Structure 1
Amino acid sequence: MKYKQSQRQEVQFTEEQEAAVQTFWQDYSRGVRTTYLVHGVTGSGKTEVYMEMIGRVVKAGRQAIVLIPEIALTYQTVLRFYGRFGDRVSILNSRLSAGERYDQIERIRRGEVDVMIGPRSALFAPFPDLGLIVIDEEHEPAYKSEKAPRYHARETALARAKMEGASVVLGSATPSLEAFYQCRNGRYTLLKLKNRAASQSLPDVYTVDMREELKHGNRSILSDRLKEMITERLWKKEQVMLFLNRRGYAGFVSCRSCGHVVKCPHCDVSLSAHRNGKMVCHYCGYEQPSIKKCPECGSGYIGGFKAGTQQIEDLVKQTFPGSRVLRMDLDTTKVKNGHERILSAFSNEEADILIGTQMIVKGHDFPNVTLVGVLAADLSLYSNDYQSAERTFQLLSQASGRAGRGKKRGEVVIQTYSPEHYSIRMAARQDYEGFYEEEMKYRQLMGYPPVDQLLAVWMTGSAEEHLKKAALYLKEFAARINRGGRLSVIGPSAPYVSKVSDQYRQILYIKSEAYRCLIEAKNLMEQYIEMNTGFDSLRIQFDFNPINTS
C-alpha cells in the first residue's frame, strides 16, 4: 500500500510534551538506556511525542520500531508517520501477503528503512542498529501471543532493547497495571501528559443506573437519557458513537432488578452459565445449578445478556427513523478493506450514528463526534477473569476519549447495573490513579499479577476422562514439589470453552510471589510429563501471566 507524503507542519509542543521529550533525550544523549511510560489522557498528543523521540534517534543514525495494535493501525495513524519520515517508513500488518512482507524485510536489509510500524510481529524487524522501541496502547491484550510461543511483546521488547542498547517507550491513556506497578517501583520512568494537546476539555461523563430504568418501566437497552441526547445530536447535525462492551463476555448471570452478579465463593470471579443447567467457575471448577430467582432480592429478572450489535442497529433505526446508521463488528468487517470503508464513511459524515464493539474505540479521531454511549458496561466487568475490572476501566476510558476531540464539547453516557463499582466510578471521573489504588488492593488480597505471578497450564486431549485424570496427576505432582509452601495450586477445571475441534480442554493455575519459583515448577513438570507415557496423547502448554483464560 502506497501513502502520499504530506507537507509536514511545524508542531507546537505543549509544556508537558516538551518535558517528556527532553527527559527522554537527556537520558539518551548521556548513554542511559531505560524504559519510559508515557501516561497521557486521550487526545494528549502521545503520537507527536513518539515521533519527536524517533526523529532524534534516527538523526543520530539508529533505527526505531513502533508497535501498534492491529485494530488501531489505521490509515489515519500511518499517514502521520509518513508525513514525518517519508519513504524511510515500512509497514507490516496481517493483510500483507508473504511476498509483500518479504519485500519489506529486504528493504530493511538494504538500509532503506529507519522506522518499522506494525503489530506484535514487527518487533523482530532485523535492524542493524536499533535505538528505540515504542509500544503504543501498551495495555492492549493483543500484545500477548495466544499461540506458542506465548510471548508478550512488552517483555520481549525489553529483552531485545537490553541486548541491543536501545530504549523502550510505552504509551497509554490507561496503562496496564503491570507497567504502572513498575513505575511505582522505580523500574520505569513515568512521563505524564495530563491535558489534551489542543486544550480541549475532557468530555462530561454521565452514569445511568439501568436498574432505575427498569423500575420506571423502560426495558430497552437505550436509557431515556441516552435517547434524549441522541435526538439532540441528530438535530444539531453532530455524530454519535454507540459502543457495546462485549469484550470478555462469557455468559455471566446478573439480576436486572438489583444488579447482583452470581460469583464463585472461592475465587471472586463470576460463574458462567452453561447449557447443561449449571453455573461453573473456570478457575477452580466450582459449580452449582442455574437459578431462576435472584438470591439477593428475589426478582425473576435474572439471566444472561443476549443483545448484539445487529439487534441494537435495528432498535436504533426503529427509535430514530431517518437517521443514517453504520455498524462495525466482525460481520461487517470480514470483507477486504471493511474497516477502512466504514471508518472513512463515518469520517466523511456519511452517517450520523456508528454502532460497534471495541474496534470502534481504538485511536480513531472524529471531530464531529460529540456523544458516546456505552451500552452494558457490565458485560466485561463480570467476565470470569481476574482482570475484568481493569479491562472494563480501560475500555470505558478509551470509549469516553472518542467524544469532544474537535472544537465542540463532548459528552458520554455510561449505562450500567453497577454504578457503585470502582471501575465504573473511576472511568467516569477519568481517574486512572484512583482506579489503580483500588484494583491493586484486590490483586494483593487475591494474589494476582502484578503482585504475585501466575502460571497457567493448558491441557488438551481427545479423551475427556483421560484428560481429567492426567490433570489431577499434574496437580498432585505440583503439590509434591511445593517445598516451603511457595506455590499455590488452583484447579484443574474446564475453561469456558471446554471443547474445540473435538479436543477437550483443562486448565491448572499455579501462583507464586517469585517468578523464578514458577520457572522451576514448569521445568520440573516438563520432566515429569516426559517421563510418564500417560501424557503422550495430550498437548500441554505453559503460559505465564495469561491474558485470556477462556
Structure 2
Amino acid sequence: MGDSNIRYADIIIDISHEALDKVFQYRVPLSLWEEVQPGSRVFVPFGRGNRETEGYVIAIRQEADYEESKIKEILRVNTEGISVESELIQVASFLKEKYGSTMIQALRTVLPVKTKMKPKEEVFITLSMEKDTAQQLLCEWERKHFTARARFLSTLLKKERMRKEEAVKACNFPLKELRKLSEQGIIKLESRIKYRNPFPELVTRKQGWPLNDEQRAIVDNFKEEYRKGERRTYLLYGITGSGKTEVYLSLIKEVLAAGRQVIVLIPEISLTYQTVRRFYERFGERIAVINSRMSKGEKSDACERIRAGEADVIIGARSALFAPTERLGLIVIDEEHDGAYKSDTSPKYHARETAIYRAKLCGASVVLGSATPSVEAYAHALNGEYQLWTLKKRAGNAILPNTQIVDLREEFKKGNRSIFSEELHKKITECLERKEQIMLFLNRRGFAGFVSCRACGQVIKCPHCDVTLTYHRNGKLRCHYCGHEEVFTKQCPICKSPHVAAFGLGTEKVEAALHQEFPAARVLRMDMDTTKRKHAHEEMLAAFAAGRADILLGTQMIVKGHDYANVTLVGILAADLSLHEQDFRSGEKTFQLLCQAAGRAGRGEKAGNVIIQTYSPEHYAIVAAARHSYENFFKEEYTYRKLMAYPPCAHMLVILIQSGDESQSIIAMLRIEKIIEQSQSGEMDPIQILNPGQASLSKLKDVYRQVLYLKHKEEERLLDLKRRLEPVLEKHPMFAGISIQFDFDPLSHY
C-alpha cells in the first residue's frame, strides 16, 4: 500500500484521442487535496524546461507508478469555471466506477474525436465602391468592349452580393479575373465556413400544433419548476399517438429561451429522419445531428457548430449524450425503454443513468419519454425518484385501434398452413380494396431461420461462433455475428442424409408469401439487409409516406415512432418469438414491441385494426398489449421480478471472461468465483453467484466466453465487490492475456 499522506494525480496534457494513452503522474500538494479531483484543470511543470502547461486530471491514486524522486508537483488549479472537457472527464470517471472499464476506455467513449476535416468554404462577392462609381466603370467597360467584365459587373450591380461559383459559371467569368478585380479594389471577396448539412431539403415551420389540456398541464409544470431553478428527472408516460414529441418541442423552446442547449436522444438511426424533420421545422438551423451513418465531415462540422454555440438542439443516438455542449440545460431521452440505450462495448453504460449524472453536473433537467416505460423507470417514478407525467389521450381525434389476438394453434387445427391467419388475410384484402396502408411486423431477419437435418436433428452452426447460421434466399448460409458465409447444401454433414431444410420465418419469406397471396400489392421490405446504404431508411419511409407502397413489412425498425395517417391495419406475425429468449426481460420486451407495433395503426382520422398472431394467447404480456394496458402489465411483471429478485427489485453484475484458449477461460472463471466466495465467507447476506459457466454464446470469433452472474438487492454491495476485484484482476499474472468485462444490470443475456 502507498502512503496515505501522499496523493498522486494522473494527468493528460493533450486531450485528444491520439494522446489519451500518454498519461503523466504528478504529486498533489496537501494544500490542493480538496480541489484536485478527476476533471480538474491544473497547471503543471512539463518537459525538460519545466514550462508551465495546462492538463486535465483523470484519476487520483495513493501509489506512484514511477520513482518517487522523479515525480513533479502540481503548481495550481485553473479556477476559471468548469470547461466542457472537465465535465466529460467527470462523466468518464463515473462510467469507469459504475460500469467497470479502464479510464482510457471511458475517456474514448465520452470525448468527441477531433477529426481534422478541412472545412468547406463559401466565397461571396460584394462591391468595394459606391454604386454610382461602379455604374460609371460599367459604361467604360462596355465602351471598351470588355464583354466578360461588363457582364459580371452588370449582374453584381443587380444582385449586390453573389457567390463565387455563380460568377464563374453563370457569368462565365474566370477566377483569375476575380482575383485581379479584388486586388484593384473594385470588389471584395469574403469567405465563410460552410457547414455540411445532412438534411438539406428540410424547411422551417416555426408554429407548432396547439396543445391539449393534458399536454399544456405538463408544459406549465415544467416551466414553473425550471424558472424556479428546480432541476429534476421526469418520466413522460404517454400512450402511442398521445403527442409526446409536441411536449418535447414546447419544453425545448422554454430551455432555449433561457439561453441553454438541449440534447435529444433517440434509439434508432431509422428514426433520425422523421424526428429531425419535426425538430428542424420548429428550430431550423439551430439543430445539429450526430449519428453513426454520417460522414466524418458531417460529424466534425456538427461538433464544431456545437462548440461554437451555433447549434442549440443536438439530436442523435446514445453517443450524442457526450456532445461538447457548454450550456446544457435539458436532456430528452425518447423511447427510454429501448435496449439501444445500453452500450454493448466496455464501458457498458446505460444512457438513462449516465444522462441523469451528466445533468446533475451541469444543472440540467432530464425528461424520459415512452408509451411503454422500462420497468426500472416506472418503478423509480412510483417511488418518487422521478416525477411522473401521464398522457392518456391520443392527439387530435384519433382513437386507439381495435386489437384482436389470433391463436395460431387453432389455425393449425383448421389446416391453415399459411403465414397469414384467416382473419389477417381477410383484413389485408379489405384494406387493399379501400386503398389504405398496412404495416406487417416480424421480429426476425433472413429468408428463414436456422437450417437443420430432419433425419438426425443436427443444426448447421458457424465454425467460429456458437450460433446457428441463417439461410438467405441467394443460397448462402450466413453468421450475423462474424459474417462467415458458406453455400447451403441439402446433405447433412453428420449423417449424410439429404433432408437438410431451412426452418423459421424471415422477412424475405414473408415478402415472397405476400407476392403470392396479394400479387397486385406494392410491398416495401425494411430490415437490416435492405437499409445498409446511407439514407436508405429515409428513402423507404418517405416512399411509404407518399403512398408509393401499400404494405410496409419489416423488423423492429418499422415499429418505433413512425406516424402514417393512412395506416389502418397492423399485423404482428409472430408475437411470441421474443417471449422464449433466455432473458428475464423477455416478457417486457415482447409487451413493448407489441404496443409499439399496435400503436402505428389508426393515427389519423380513420379507425385502426391490429391483429396479433401468437401461440401463447393467454400470456399476460400479450393480453396486456392487446388491451393497451401498461398498468396491468407492470403489476404482473413487477410481482414476478420481486419474487425472483431481478432488477429493479435487486441488482445484477455480470463478469464476462474471454480468451482464445478455452481451458484458460475456464480456470480464470473458477478462480474469480473462488475469490468472491472467500471475500464474503461468514457474511450474513452474501452476494449470490448464479450459474457460473459457459456463456450461452460460448464461442464468438474464435474466442471462448465464460460468464458469472452475481445478484444482490443492494447496488452498493455489487459496486464495492467490483472495485475490490479490479486491482486483483489487473495485476495477478493468472489473468494476463484474458479479457475481463463487467456489465451492470445487463439488458441482454450472455
Tell me whether the two structures share a fold, i.e. TM-score over 0.5: yes
The change in CA–CA distance for 1:113 and 1:66 in structure 2 (over 3 A counts) is same
- 8 Å contact from structure 2 (residues 206, 283) kept in 1: no
Provide the C-alpha distance between the structure 2 equivalents of 1:71 and 1:411, rounded to a whole number of angstroms.
Answer: 28
Counterpart residue number, 2:388: 190
Counterpart residue number, 2:336: 138
Provide the C-alpha distance between the structure 2 equivalents of 1:370 and 1:137, rounded to a whole number of angstroms.
Answer: 23
Instruction: Specify the code of the residue in structure 1 equivalent to 2:337.
Output: H
RMSD: 2.0
The change in CA–CA distance for 1:237 and 1:470 in structure 2 (over 3 A counts) is same
Provide the C-alpha distance between the structure 1 equivalents of 2:269 and 2:633, rounded to a whole number of angstroms.
Answer: 25
- What aligned pairs does 1:144-543 form with structure 2 within 5 A after superposition? 144-246=342-444, 306-482=504-680, 483-543=683-743
- 8 Å contact from structure 1 (residues 70, 93) kept in 2: no
* 3-state DSSP of counterpart to 1:498: strand
* 3-state DSSP of counterpart to 2:697: coil
- CA displacement at 1:494 relative to structure 2: 2.4
Provide the C-alpha distance between the structure 2 equivalents of 1:75 and 1:210, rounded to a whole number of angstroms.
Answer: 36
1:445-491: per-residue Cα shift (whole Å, max 9, x none)? 11110110010111110111221122122122222223323311012
1:36-73: per-residue Cα shift (whole Å, max 9, x none)? 01100111110110110110111011111111113353
Structure of greater relative contact order (alpha carbons < 8 Å, 6+ residues apart): 1
Counterpart residue number, 1:40: 238
Provide the C-alpha distance between the structure 2 equivalents of 1:99 and 1:230, rounded to a whole number of angstroms.
Answer: 45
Provide the C-alpha distance between the structure 1 equivalents of 2:203 and 2:519, rounded to a whole number of angstroms.
Answer: 42
Provide the C-alpha distance between the structure 2 equivalents of 1:199 and 1:474, rounded to a whole number of angstroms.
Answer: 59
- 8 Å contact from structure 2 (residues 272, 316) kept in 1: no
- 8 Å contact from structure 1 (residues 486, 517) kept in 2: no
Instruction: Specify the code of the residue in structure 2 equivalent to 1:141.
Output: G
Provide the C-alpha distance between the structure 2 equivalents of 1:398 and 1:12, rounded to a whole number of angstroms.
Answer: 25
- 8 Å contact from structure 1 (residues 131, 166) kept in 2: yes
Which protein shows a greater Rg? 2
**More deviation, 330-339/235-244:** 330-339
- 8 Å contact from structure 1 (residues 246, 380) kept in 2: no
Provide the C-alpha distance between the structure 2 equivalents of 1:336 and 1:112, rounded to a whole number of angstroms.
Answer: 26
**More deviation, 177-186/476-485:** 476-485
* 3-state DSSP of counterpart to 2:656: strand
- 8 Å contact from structure 2 (residues 424, 571) kept in 1: yes
Counterpart residue number, 2:265: 67
* 3-state DSSP of counterpart to 1:497: strand
Provide the C-alpha distance between the structure 1 equivalents of 2:425 and 2:281, rounded to a whole number of angstroms.
Answer: 40
Counterpart residue number, 1:290: none
Counterpart residue number, 1:51: 249
Provide the C-alpha distance between the structure 2 equivalents of 1:479 and 1:30, rounded to a whole number of angstroms.
Answer: 50
- CA displacement at 1:530 relative to structure 2: 3.1
- 8 Å contact from structure 2 (residues 235, 377) kept in 1: yes
- 8 Å contact from structure 2 (residues 591, 621) kept in 1: yes
TM-score (norm 2): 0.65
Provide the C-alpha distance between the structure 2 equivalents of 1:108 and 1:523, rounded to a whole number of angstroms.
Answer: 35
Instruction: Specify the code of the residue in structure 2 equivalent to 1:71.
Output: I
- What aligned pairs does 1:10-29 form with structure 2 within 5 A after superposition? 10-29=208-227
1:70-113: per-residue Cα shift (whole Å, max 9, x none)? 33533222111111111111111112222321211111222211
- 8 Å contact from structure 1 (residues 245, 374) kept in 2: no
Instruction: Specify the code of the residue in structure 2 equivalent to 1:424.
Output: I
* 3-state DSSP of counterpart to 1:330: coil
Provide the C-alpha distance between the structure 2 equivalents of 1:133 and 1:10, rounded to a whole number of angstroms.
Answer: 20
Provide the C-alpha distance between the structure 2 equivalents of 1:493 and 1:363, rounded to a whole number of angstroms.
Answer: 39
- 8 Å contact from structure 2 (residues 204, 281) kept in 1: yes
**More deviation, 507-516/213-222:** 213-222
Instruction: Specify the code of the residue in structure 2 equivalent to 1:467.
Output: S
The change in CA–CA distance for 1:342 and 1:514 in structure 2 (over 3 A counts) is same
Instruction: Specify the code of the residue in structure 1 equivalent to 2:715.
Output: Y
* 3-state DSSP of counterpart to 1:64: strand
Q: Which runs of 5+ in 2 are unaligned?
A: 1-197, 451-465, 470-500
- CA displacement at 1:205 relative to structure 2: 0.4
- CA displacement at 1:531 relative to structure 2: 4.3
Provide the C-alpha distance between the structure 1 equivalents of 2:694 and 2:545, rounded to a whole number of angstroms.
Answer: 44
Provide the C-alpha distance between the structure 2 equivalents of 1:219 and 1:455, rounded to a whole number of angstroms.
Answer: 44
- CA displacement at 1:9 relative to structure 2: 3.1
- 8 Å contact from structure 1 (residues 109, 126) kept in 2: yes
- CA displacement at 1:304 relative to structure 2: 11
The change in CA–CA distance for 1:185 and 1:507 in structure 2 (over 3 A counts) is same
Instruction: Specify the code of the residue in structure 2 equivalent to 1:541.
Output: Q
The change in CA–CA distance for 1:204 and 1:315 in structure 2 (over 3 A counts) is same
Provide the C-alpha distance between the structure 1 equivalents of 2:705 and 2:319, rounded to a whole number of angstroms.
Answer: 28
- 8 Å contact from structure 2 (residues 376, 647) kept in 1: yes
The change in CA–CA distance for 1:124 and 1:136 in structure 2 (over 3 A counts) is same
1:123-152: per-residue Cα shift (whole Å, max 9, x none)? 112222211111111111111110011111
- How many residue pairs match? The answer is 502
Q: Which runs of 5+ in 1 are unaligned?
A: 253-271, 276-302
Q: 2:319 aligns with which of 101, 114, 121?
A: 121
- 8 Å contact from structure 1 (residues 92, 122) kept in 2: yes
Instruction: Specify the code of the residue in structure 2 equivalent to 1:223.
Output: S
Counterpart residue number, 1:299: none
Instruction: Specify the code of the residue in structure 2 equivalent to 1:481.
Output: S
Counterpart residue number, 1:545: 745
Counterpart residue number, 1:264: none
Instruction: Specify the code of the residue in structure 1 equivalent to 2:699.
Output: K
1:379-435: per-residue Cα shift (whole Å, max 9, x none)? 111111111000000000000010011111000000111111000000000000110
Provide the C-alpha distance between the structure 2 equivalents of 1:232 and 1:367, rounded to a whole number of angstroms.
Answer: 17
Counterpart residue number, 1:298: none
The answer on 1:86 being equivalent to 2:284 is yes
* 3-state DSSP of counterpart to 1:507: strand
- 8 Å contact from structure 1 (residues 92, 119) kept in 2: yes
- 8 Å contact from structure 1 (residues 242, 373) kept in 2: yes
Provide the C-alpha distance between the structure 1 equivalents of 2:436 and 2:558, rounded to a whole number of angstroms.
Answer: 17
